[in-house]
Chains A and B, each alone.
Chain A
């Protein structure tokens, strides 16, 4: 999300505009979710961290010093809460297995459905292979890429707040991590 836009939405939300709050949540909750997932908490802990971050953001809404940096505020709050969980915890568990893709049902001829189903199965296999290789990257690469893949994509300032990495090193590290992932995929013969 564009910083000027975020700043304006925060101001409107402070003034009581519920639609502005909705737009902030829609634009920035994928970032918060990505930060939580990047830290590999259990589902229960991750969900609680996510809620804590948004409750605190709502609470601090009118007091945030730099409204245009609300994305960074959310990202660093999420990071701190994740680190607290990890520090306080023996409850740390690996994330669940990726869920099975939902079937899409549409009005199609049986032949077309069969072709579609095969295409979809190929696509699903490809996505799962990509995800598997991503999950097996080293922790630091996995974390960085998990935050970067939020949609809409976060700014490097937000990524920096989310992971405590200097802004200037994010570009080169991203490049190396993606290259490493590509190499793993190539080694598996993925397209």
Chain B
């Protein structure tokens, strides 16, 4: 058994305090104190989560991630840096997206025109060019978390937030 595994059962697990006076709760509490000093949640991340409340939008429909090449694709031998292929679905609408180091490409299915923005956080939105067939492209790859906001006719659809 390697050190990566959990240690073997030593038969003393039944009670919080074993016969030898070991106090697990106390040690856990000490770790909690140490984490607060040595590995605290950065203040700016706490603030970003606070600010994320504006992303709560009941008017918009969420297009759920139904395919992610990072999880669902079978690796192709010899392909060093394959593009990230993503598929989102909202009702009858499918959004296919391909993210590479060079940018972002995509297609709405069934083909239709739409206004599309790339969201990068609570305050960042960048419009994309879309053709009449619902094909869109950007030569700036998304960095960090991103989502696409689509306006088709009367609908607003936002893809699930993902990390590029």
* Interfacial residues, chain A to chain B (CB-CB below 8 A): 13-14, 18, 21-22, 25-26, 29-30, 32-34, 37, 47-52, 54-63, 81, 84-85, 87-88, 95, 98-99, 101, 127-128, 130-131, 134, 138-141, 144-146, 148-151, 153, 171-182
Contacts and interface: CB of A to CB of B under 8 A. Distances in A.
A98 B39 contact: yes
B24 A127 contact: no
25 contacts: A21-B50, A22-B53, A25-B50, A51-B144, A52-B161, A52-B162, A54-B52, A55-B52, A58-B56, A59-B161, A60-B62, A84-B70, A88-B70, A101-B37, A130-B31, A131-B39, A134-B31, A138-B3, A140-B4, A171-B13, A172-B9, A175-B16, A176-B9, A181-B27, A182-B27
Given A48-B163, A182-B27, A151 B34 contact: no
A175 to B, nearest CB: 5
Contacts of A25: 46, 49-50
A55 B38 contact: no
Contacts of B35: 34, 146, 149-151
Nearest to B18: A179
Interface of B: 2-10, 12-13, 16, 18, 22, 24, 27-28, 30-39, 41-42, 45-46, 48-50, 52-58, 62, 68, 70-71, 84, 121-122, 144-145, 147, 158, 160-163
A34 B138 CA distance: 35
A123 to B, nearest CB: 9
A6 to B, nearest CB: 15
Main SS at interface, chain B:
mixed
